[in-house]
Chain A
Amino acid sequence: MDAESKTIPVVEMRNIKKNFAAVQALKGVDLRLNHNEVLGLVGDNAAGKSTLMKVLSGAYIPEEGEILIEGEKVHFTDPLHARRLGIEMVYQDLALANNLDITANVFLGRETVARQIGPFGVMNSHMMEQDAQRLLERLKIDIPSVRLLVERLSGGQRQAVAIARAMAFNSKVIIMDEPTAALSVAAISKVLELVRELKAQGASIIIISHRLEDIYSVSDRLMVMRNGRKVRDCPITESIDEFREHVVAYMIGARDDFAVEEVR
């Protein structure tokens, strides 16, 4: 990757608007994600952060606004389309099939086919197992065997598998929706470690979380949303206490000095 392409943000969303019936969920939101950056996205419930991410992952189509991936304008039609263009979403409920093993889940919907017999693609199981094993090793995820069924994994291990899946196919952006919710303290620190590992390996990540300390510990930049608008967007430089105080003030609307024109 040359220096020039690094200056172009990997994702740029401009003036995104999305309505649900009479409710304006997104009132013209901008978002910028630079290469190899971890962007923390916070906001109270119904602030619009999940809606914004669903627009980016192709699940929702916005009424207005444009999305640029590495400087190229795109119009997502569905999540698969976004995925083909390198946008991977790690869903809060993980979207794993617990009855299948780790390999099957990593390759779910994207199985490696050895040959085609009529309508039947014959899977190259050994190749997929080997690739899954390498992926786990590369991400330093310590699970004894890729043949373990997901139902036999702990919550943290499942989260790791879901994240590994997002990394499996040369993705450009990984969106994580509450990756540390419903995990034990030990598992949370492991997931955060994994996020740092992904960044060290060059991934660009957007992470949604209610846990401000998690955002603080892994993110380079923070974006706060409230009532469908962006109310703060700045690098994380303060101490954790200052950070928390500021963020909460913006989240609940005690401070609202961000230079945004009210959208009409």
Chain B
Amino acid sequence: MITAEKLPRSFSVKELVKTQQHNIREYGMYIAFVVIIAFFAITTKGVFVSSRNIGNLVNAMSYIAVLAVGMTLVIVIRHIDLSVGYLAGFLGAIAAISLKYWHVPVLPTILMVLVLGIVAGLGTAFLVAKMKIPAFVATLAGWLGYRGALQLATQSTGTIIIENDVFNALGNGFIPDIFPNSSMLPGIHKVTLLLGLLAIGLFVFGEIRNRRRTQSYNFEVPPLNVFLLKSVFISLVIAVITWILAKYQGLSWAAVILILVVLLYMYITTRTVIGRHIYAVGGNPEAAQLNGISVTKITFMVFGSMGLLTGLSGILYASWLRSASTIAGAGMEFDAIAAAFVGGVAVAGGVGKVSGSILGALVMASLTNGMNLLGWDISIQYLVRALVLAGAVIFDVATRKKAS
């Protein structure tokens, strides 16, 4: 018998704690997030949680959150990408030029920018995986290069104003409503409400189905009351957010894009072979290679996806500002990296969830937004964000040490 300690096979609290240890970090983050929201809700006398503010908050964080998703996977495979900020800015400028001066329609413009993003990402991957240049150096070169490229692209024109309404709707617009003038539920965005209900339905259905399947395979599941508590809590959160958004102009296109990206990446990372291999490469590249996983291939895929998301981020940013400026994207890479670390991604690689990074992005965006509402000086804002980042990583390291 190969065992260090005898534990009963049946369900026990001790075992739950043991298997759930790695989730404790995550719960800590959710609690911190709720505390931050509560703090700003009270200190701003409700302005922070007003429909209008939440709507703006989501739009203003979407382009960082999209980057944070890609950055999560880059850090998981033990690399870093410093070039994404200016690359996003540069690609946004390309989009603006394409729309304004080349008169290319919106859809081809977007596709072109996304493809260029992928190409840029694969270029980084080539330097990292094939030329064996440390990602820090390779992407620092990218940071310089894309900064130069952005200035070159906007040199003759300065800030390029984008006048295409369809393009600008991506970062500012809201999804259309049905019967906006009907007497039923006046002032409420009914499509948003329906989507919220649909989301709750799908979530509850998925949770029940997963629980049944787990049981059918004879694996233990959490006790029913824990399960119910969790399901009701998350359903309530979705309901509240839906209601807040529906009271204003509904779900924004940026939010829709962000939700789709997050769901897609959560699915890929948790359910697919490629996702599993990404984490294997992050945990132990030699072991992954010995087990037939191509580290080179995974590196190309992860940087390629980072490039794709950088293109998307550039589009969202340019659309949100309705323009491309000569300094677009400056510092975005650090916001994305900070979001990932606040969200529990481990510096050493192998550990970190997409959902965590999104939460990290939300925390950082909420801080900025809340402190702006309170009129705090920008210097104080930086200090607070520094403390939150350091605190999150300290908490992360401390709980990790305890767990092992």
Contact = CB atoms under 8 A, between A and B. Distances in A.
B404 interface: yes
A152 B4 contact: no
Contacts, number: 123
Nearest to B273: A121
A97 B288 contact: yes
A141 B276 CA distance: 24
Contact of B273 (A113, A147, A149, A191): A113
B2 A109 contact: no
A140 interface: yes
Interface string B269-280: 001111011011
Nearest to B285: A97
A160 to B, nearest CB: 4
B22 interface: yes
A104 interface: yes
Interface string A184-218: 00010011011000000000000000000000000
A133 B21 CA distance: 21
B283 interface: yes
A210 to B, nearest CB: 21
B15 interface: yes
B283 A120 contact: no
Given A96-B284, A148-B18, A157 B3 contact: yes
B283 A98 contact: yes
A40 interface: no
A108 B273 contact: no
A99 B219 contact: no
Nearest to A149: B22
Contact of A143 (B2, B268, B350, B403): B2
Contacts of B18: 144, 148, 152
Nearest to B282: A99
Contacts of A79: 290, 292
Interface residues of B, number: 41
A111 B22 CA distance: 23
Contacts of B9: 144
Contact of A97 (B15, B268, B274, B350): B350
Nearest to A101: B19
Interface string B1-33: 111101101000001001101100000000000
Interface stretch (B38-46, B210-218, B312-320): B210-218
Contacts of A152: 18, 21, 403-404
Contacts of B351: 99
A100 B351 CA distance: 9
B401 to A, nearest CB: 12
Interface in A150-189: 151-152, 154, 156-157, 159-160, 187
Interface residues of A, number: 50
Contacts of A113: 273
A5 interface: no
A108 B1 contact: no
Nearest to A94: B287
A110 B280 CA distance: 12
B286 interface: yes
B288 A129 contact: no
Interface string B202-215: 00000000000110
Contacts of A125: 271
Given A95-B286, A95-B290, A97-B284, A156 B273 contact: no
Nearest to A84: B292
B7 A109 contact: no
B220 to A, nearest CB: 8
A79 to B, nearest CB: 7
B2 A99 contact: no
Contact of B217 (A80, A97, A126): A126
A123 B273 CA distance: 6
A99 B283 contact: yes
Interface string A219-245: 000000000000000000000000000
A45 interface: no
Nearest to A156: B2
A133 B220 CA distance: 12
B293 interface: yes
A123 B271 contact: yes
Interface string A25-46: 0000000000000000000000
A121 to B, nearest CB: 4
A83 B283 contact: no
A147 B221 CA distance: 12
B276 A80 contact: no
Nearest to A158: B2
B226 to A, nearest CB: 16
Nearest to B292: A109
Given A143-B2, A148-B19, A120 B268 contact: yes
B2 A194 contact: yes
Interface in A54-94: 79-80, 83, 91, 93-94
A252 interface: no
Given A100-B283, A147-B19, A157-B3, 17 more contacts: A83-B292, A94-B287, A95-B284, A95-B291, A98-B283, A99-B350, A104-B280, A108-B287, A122-B272, A122-B273, A123-B271, A130-B218, A142-B6, A143-B3, A148-B18, A148-B19, A194-B2
Interface of B: 1-4, 6-7, 9, 15, 18-19, 21-22, 213-214, 216-219, 268, 271-274, 276-277, 279-280, 282-284, 286-288, 290-293, 350-351, 403-404
26 contacts: A79-B290, A80-B292, A95-B287, A97-B280, A97-B283, A98-B283, A98-B350, A99-B351, A108-B287, A109-B277, A113-B273, A120-B268, A120-B272, A122-B272, A122-B273, A125-B271, A126-B219, A130-B218, A144-B3, A144-B9, A151-B404, A152-B18, A152-B404, A157-B3, A187-B2, A190-B1
Which 10 pairs, one residue from A and one from B, show the smallest C-beta to C-beta distance?
A: A109-B291, A99-B283, A97-B283, A99-B350, A95-B287, A121-B273, A109-B292, A142-B3, A160-B2, A142-B1
